[in-house]
Amino acid sequence: MKIGVFGINTGPCAAPATAAKVARAAEAAGFESVWTGEHVVLPDPQAPPSPAPPRHPMLDPAVALGFLAAHTERLRLATGIIILPQRNPVVLAKELASVDVLSRGRLIFGLGAGYLRPEFEAVGASFHDRGARTDESIDAIRTLWCDAQPRFAGRTVRFAGIDAHPRPVQRPHPPIVVGGTSAAALRRAVARGNGWYGFLRDPDTARADLAGLAAARGEVERPDALGALEISITPPPRLDLDGARRYRDLGVDRLVLLPHARDEATLLRWVDETAETLLRKLA
């Protein structure tokens, strides 16, 4: 089972020196990946379903991962997730390809459709058709990364007679991981993703998610080129070894752990303790 760390761009890790120390410590300890979160803006005042107070620091995912690429050598660098329908997919394809080049092929592209209406309104993105925009954007980005002469003619994304280099180092492209637990998100993962990502899912909800993915396979076609669907989950904090084994028994491929830490010292201590009590015993 692969083990990652969530939140490498937020909270204490919004400070660059802390992010670099944590990433280097995670790499040295044997963690497989570090993952960012994203909210371009947060509602002020905070109100459900907003996940954090408006002054919670959160670096841009691509910028943070580009920075961390220079401070690590083997660690996979994942967006967990980018809110795709808020982005211009042509610009985002360039940003993420740049991260893959700078990291020499270590990017994992995690994405979601989003759920905070005030955030969509603030960036001028449509909220009501975010699912359709997400689907088109995935296809457009894959086209820009893979096709010799990229062209796309969708409802919200259109381009032809252009090209963009450098392409990602990973071929055919960096892994595309679809986040979300709605029926639409599960279908999107099956139809378009190399992987699926569920956030704060306990073993019972994870079991229901996996059943939902199995049902989605009967509703949408999965291209053979996508391979097996890799399952990544962030469990609730303070996971113990028995809990981790429950996820493994369900068929989860990767746990992206959420540290319970509010400062650099506690976070670095968590990395070392988790490596000793969990990571090495799952190897």
**Tens-digit pLDDT profile for residues 80-89:** 999 999 999 9
pLDDT the model gives residue 107: 99
Looking at residue 100, what is its pLDDT? 98
13 with 265: CB under 8 angstroms?
A: no
Q: Is the pLDDT of residue 18 over 80?
A: yes
Are 90 and 159 within 8 A, CB to CB? Answer: yes
CA-based nearest residue to 140, from 114, 162, 123:
162
The answer on pLDDT for 55 being more than 90 is yes
- State the architecture of 2-282 in CATH terms: Alpha-Beta Barrel (3.20)
For the chain, the average pLDDT equals: 97
Average pLDDT over every residue of 39-52? 96
| 225-263 exposure pattern, b = at least 16 Cβ within 10 A, e = fewer | ebeebbbbbbbeeebeeebbebbeeeebbbbbbbbebee
Q: What is the mean pLDDT of residues 220-238?
A: 97
pLDDT of residue 195: 98
pLDDT number for residue 283: 77
pTM across the whole model: 0.97
Q: Which residues pair with 2 in a beta bridge?
A: 254
Q: Pick the residue with more confidence: 185 or 260?
A: 185
pLDDT over threshold 90, residue 217: yes
Confidence at 260, pLDDT banded by 50, 70, 90: confident
How far is residue 25's CA from residue 273's CA, in Å, rounded to a whole number? 11
| pLDDT over 90 percentage in the chain | 98
How much is the pLDDT for 188?
A: 98
**CA-to-CA distance for 269 and 264, rounded, in angstroms?**
9
Strands 152-153 and 158-159: antiparallel
d(CA 30, CA 253): 16
**Integer Cα distance of 118 and 102 in angstroms:** 33
Tell me what the mean pLDDT of segment 111-135 comes to. Answer: 97
pLDDT at 63 over 80: yes
Q: What is the 3-state secondary structure (H, E, C) of 237-278?
A: CCCCHHHHHHHHHHCCCEEEECCCCCCHHHHHHHHHHHHHHH
Q: How far is CA 279 from CA 6, 107, 117, 264, in A?
A: 15, 22, 38, 20
Closest CA to 247 of 180, 189, 200, 190: 200
Q: To the nearest whole percent, how much of the chain has pLDDT over 70?
A: 100
**pLDDT of 254 above 80:** yes
Cβ-Cβ contacts under 8 Å for 192 (sequence gap 6 or more)? 135, 138, 139, 176, 178, 226
Domain locations in the chain as residue ranges: 2-282
- Which helix (H) or strand (E) covers residue 196, if one does? strand 195-199
Number of residues assigned to the chain: 283
Find out whether 232 and 256 touch, Cβ atoms under 8 Å.
yes
Residue 140 pLDDT: 98
